[in-house]
Structure 1
């Protein structure tokens, strides 16, 4: 290998190392700045985060990864933090229904009237929702999405076959063409409400998970929702 080739190779290698080091330093600085800002916000040192304007936030939805949902301590801390902020309605979601299993016994009460047998987080949620009446909590899972839309579709189909008025009015007919049912958004909303899968649309959806998506949260409740 000639000397110029070696010089070029060493130069390119050194340049790659410098670029890699610069990117790593920028990433580290960004991570440190983010953690510092979070610490300052939590401690209340940043004035602009002391008085949050939550008047327009009527419904808040939180999507949690099912593995993280098992950490009841963090979930409990999150809910109490939201309560102190003045949030009135919270919808908790995880795809496997872990939150449902944890919270529903404490919210509905036990058969033997001994709620102490349940997890502390369930008892705390019961106190929040049933006693203080300061925050309403809804727990849903992936079954409310897939099974809900399937049940709504079956209801619309059976209603159309049975000749119900609200579906027959939306049948599109053309000459020499077989009649095809046309279901509107209103029809679907009515069907979802009939099977108990309808609910208020959250103003804000917070996602805590490995993927940047809503993880199966019912999409018909996200028409005008901001996702973070």
Structure 2
């Protein structure tokens, strides 16, 4: 009986040692990754501070000629922080961005800011676009910036209205035409339909995402054909230097454009 017991103990020792070694290796790897992430975060914060202080010369003069339209996607939980949103808009105005689209999937931004935009529209007729409002941020160091507010419902309703328009046009042509033809819709047809129903809008050159998810969270996909997308992390930890760096990196990128087409 003792020999059987001692044999079991001897057989279990290698497995215990193996588990200990694997656990130790896992702990070392986890510690190394944590230290690397901490070091990267430290370097990132130092760089953002140096950019904000104007100590890095290459970030002083931003060339925003290619940035005609900037989109900002904010997670719904963070979209409730109006103070951060206003600070973000102030920074963008200071940098010199002229046209901004703010988006969150639940429409929190639109509900929070659109009443103020409507009052601005009544007071400054002719100084805003139909899809947004022209806001004066002179106290931030710049004149005006056009802002568009979007939500997830805009994307769903827009594509539904455009599809209904294309279908009604197709059946109308077949009713009055000589023969029935197969439905063939090109990208240009869809773009024209979206524009006709008031859901076209300009395509952003750059999209900045604030939140835990690395996705555009339902931003209208037909407006993202050639858009450069960058993840900026949580809105609560946004930094002026990080925005300047993102705009600088975008100005240095080279994009190839091609033609697309599809049939339904």
- What is the DSSP-based 3-state SS (H/G/I as helix, E as strand, rest coil) of the residue aligned with 1:206? strand
Q: After superposition, what is the alpha-carbon deviation per residue over 1:17-53, rounded to whole angstroms, capped at 9, x for unaligned?
A: 3333222222221222222222222222222222222
Aligned counterpart, 1:183 = 185
Q: How does 1:1-228 map to 2 (within 5 A)?
A: 1-2=9-10, 5=14, 10-109=20-119, 126-128=135-137, 134-163=144-173, 179-228=181-230
State TM-score, norm by structure 1: 0.79
Q: 1:53 to 1:15 in 2, by over 3 A?
A: same
State TM-score, norm by structure 2: 0.69
Is the contact made by 2:73 and 2:210 (CA closer than 8 Å) also made in structure 1? Answer: yes
Is the contact made by 2:72 and 2:207 (CA closer than 8 Å) also made in structure 1? Answer: yes
Question: Distance between the aligned counterparts of 2:19 and 2:143, measured in 1?
Answer: 70
- Cα RMSD, aligned residues only: 2.8
Please, which runs of 5 or more residues in structure 2 have no aligned partner? Answer: 1-8, 124-133, 231-264
- Mean Cα displacement is larger for which, 10-19 or 186-195? 10-19
Q: 1:19 to 1:2 in 2, by over 3 A?
A: farther
* Structure showing greater relative contact order (alpha-carbon pairs closer than 8 Å, 6 or more residues apart): 2
Q: After superposition, what is the alpha-carbon deviation per residue over 1:132-162, rounded to whole angstroms, capped at 9, x for unaligned?
A: 8621111111111111000100011111112
Q: Number of residue pairs matched?
A: 205
- Following TM superposition, the consecutive aligned residue runs of length 4 or more in structure 1 with deviations greater than 6 angstroms are 110-113
